A and B are shown apart, each in its own frame.
Chain A
Amino acid sequence: AQSVTQPDIHITVSEGASLELRCNYSYGATPYLFWYVQSPGQGLQLLLKYFSGDTLVQGIKGFEAEFKRSQSSFNLRKPSVHWSDAAEYFCAVTAGGSYIPTFGRGTSLIVHP
């Protein structure tokens, strides 16, 4: 069964600083990978996804993520964080043939002014 690890429970950055949120997965073949964002009191919203092809994918709100097969990682990045980016971020993986995503525990992003 696939699994997802987000090693950082909390990340604190200053507004305008760059951001990288880590995600590692465990699955034998190439998975389908996703990043979701959850603002307080809201449901999850898709930021970006990777299925195949270019390993650097662009998403909404200026986010991008890079799939690295050798490291089993799919880290989320943003060059300059805005205060409105403060939220919970979830990495998810769906293994080929499975219709059910497995979610990581989430990383809480705190943005200081």
Chain B
Amino acid sequence: DAGVIQSPRHEVTEMGQEVTLRCKPISGHNSLFWYRQTMMRGLELLIYFNNNVPIDDSGMPEDRFSAKMPNASFSTLKIQPSEPRDSAVYFCASSPVAGVVDTGELFFGEGSRLTVL
């Protein structure tokens, strides 16, 4: 079975450019999470979707960040304009029920490493 698929795996861009990260969750999973991982701050939750609806976006750093989930099989995280401090690994994870309490497990993609010069 295919796991969570993220693209691109690596992205190098210049400050001010728009960046779009993509995620395909595991089929049948109805919860989706976007995380950001840095050495300084560790693993941070950016946004959580349930049944394609954003439930908690309190972790989104600022208006430059936006996330969408137009259907159950696709989500995007967009940064516009990008800044050097956005450099990080961005992970998408999915879960098969309304919350991790029921399954106890998040399924993570391999991440998208973003470098903003």
Count of A-B contacts judged by CB separation below 8 Å: 58
Interface size class of A (residues with CB under 8 A): 20 to 34
* Distance (whole angstroms) from the CB of B117 to the closest CB of chain A: 21
- Please tell me if the beta carbons of A99 and B98 are within 8 angstroms of each other in the complex: yes
Q: Does B75 contact A (CB under 8 A)?
A: no
Q: Which of A85-113 contact B (CB under 8 A)?
A: 90, 94, 96-101, 103-106
**Chain B residue contacts of A105, Cβ below 8 A:** 42
- Please tell me if the beta carbons of A46 and B101 are within 8 angstroms of each other in the complex: no
Contact digits for B69-105, partner A, Cβ 8 Å, 1 yes 0 no: 0000000000000000000000101000011110011
Contact digits for B29-73, partner A, Cβ 8 Å, 1 yes 0 no: 001010000000011010010100001100000000000000000
B residues near A (Cβ < 8 Å) are: 4, 31, 33, 42-43, 45, 48, 50, 55-56, 91, 93, 98-101, 104-106, 108-111
